[in-house]
Structure 1
């Protein structure tokens, strides 16, 4: 079974009565089987997203080979997505390795330069049937060592979103409508009216970054207002680390390391199952 791009995966999701696809951050290879277990439990296709830091740590090709192997053996339609990448050469590396979806993040640039660079990425990606995500606006919080202070948050406007989509032909658009990267101790305040207006103007799948900090009710509402891809990463990481701290602290030095990791992976599966249930 080969990897699917986002459009292909989303079409499968719709046939299974999902309104949105969850895109989950993989932080280490040990987590990977837990992702597929959650997909099987929910009969959901699976979108796995990788930061450039994780891709460089594990290796682009190892990630592709591992995900492809599990997708085939577990019979789970899967998309492998490079998340938040501003370096076009890194995007090319991911495409050459076999990633099926990429995100060009030019949200820190002027809209003219963002459009120019996004078009360049799309020209590369289209040759290999790779889906491309873009971003407009600045989402607060921190992810993979990159932080946006509260005073630098800027919300996506309807006018900019329409222009960006019309001029790039991007497959999906990440929007800033009130979510925050890395938020797990509070709840984000989604601007639902802004979200609905952007969806109406662009008519393409919209992406919600910072999905950990969104209440269940807000999430269910957002996926009816145009959000078709939801990014979740922090909550899984927090649960995995918390379980590992507990099991490593209680374990003996001659215990098999798998005994420490199994409870952490089970926690990741539980988080994914809970999140995926909100996307119907």
Structure 2
């Protein structure tokens, strides 16, 4: 089975009565079966996103081969997405090794530089049918070692979003409307009116980063208002680490390692199923 780009996966999701696609951070190969189990349980297509740190840790080719193999054996339409990358060479490597979607993050640059670099990535990706995400505005919190302090948050404006989409033709745009990367102990406050206005102005799939910490009610409203890709990462990581701490502490040194990991994967599957059902 081929890996699908975002537009293709979104079409499949909507045919299956999902209003948005969840894009879930993978931190290690041991977690991978949990993602496909959740997709099977919900009949959801699957979007797996990889940070540049994880890609370097596991290797691009191993990730592509493992995910393609599971997608085929489980018959789950799957997209493999490179998340938050500002380095064009790293994006080219992901494209060359078989990722089906990439994100160029130029949110730290001027809008002119962000547009110019996003165009370069689109030129790299389009010939291979790879979808491109960009980001406009500064989303607070921490993501794969990149930290944006709360005082540095910059919300996306309607005019900038329209200009960006018009001048790049990007496949999806991540916007800053109140969510925070890595939030799992508090509640995000989404600016729904800003979201609705950006949706109307751009008519392009919008991406919500920092999906952990968003209430179910806010998430449903955001999806109804134009969010078509929702990034979730911290919640699965927290559950996985919490379960592993518990099982490793109680285990014996001669126990099979998989016995430590199965409860962690079961916890991740539960989170994924809950999120996938939320996007219906």
Give CA deviations for 1:17-60 in whole Å, capped at 9, x if unaligned: 00000000000000000000000000000000000000000000
In the other structure, the counterpart of 1:77 is 77
SS at match of 2:224: coil
Q: Which residue matches 1:197?
A: 197
Q: Which residue number in structure 2 is paired with residue 152 of structure 1?
A: 152
- CA offsets 1:138-171 (integer angstroms, 9 cap, x no match): 0000011110001100000000000000000000
Q: Which residue of 1 aligns with 2:14?
A: 14
Give the superposition deviation at 1:277.
1.1
Structure 1 stretches of 5 or more lacking a match? Answer: none
Spell out, residue by residue over 1:233-280, the C-alpha distance to the aligned partner (whole angstroms, 9 max, x if none). Answer: 000000000000000000000000000000000000000001111101
Whether 2:16 is the aligned partner of 1:54: answer no
Partners of 1:273 and 1:246 in 2: how far apart? Answer: 22
Q: Match for residue 265 of structure 1?
A: 265
* 1:229 positional shift: 0.1
Deviations 1:100-122 (A, max 9, x none): 00000000000000000000000
Q: CA RMSD in A?
A: 0.3
Separation of aligned partners in 2, 1:195 and 1:153: 16
Give the distance between the partners of 1:155 and 1:276, measured in 2 at CA: 27
Equivalent residue, structure 2, for 1:178: 178
Unaligned runs of 5+ in 2: none
CA distance in 1 between partners of 2:134 and 2:245 (Å):
36
Q: TM-score, normalised by structure 2?
A: 1.00
State how many pairs are aligned.
Answer: 280
The reply on whether 1:86 has 2:86 as its aligned counterpart is yes
Q: How does 1:32-47 map to 2 (within 5 A)?
A: 32-47=32-47
Structure 2 CA distance for aligned equivalents of residues 97 and 29 of structure 1: 17
1:130 aligns with 130
Runs of 4 or more consecutive aligned structure 1 residues displaced over 3 Å after TM superposition: none
Q: TM-score, normalised by structure 1?
A: 1.00
Give the match for residue 279 of structure 1.
Answer: 279
2:2 aligned residue: 2
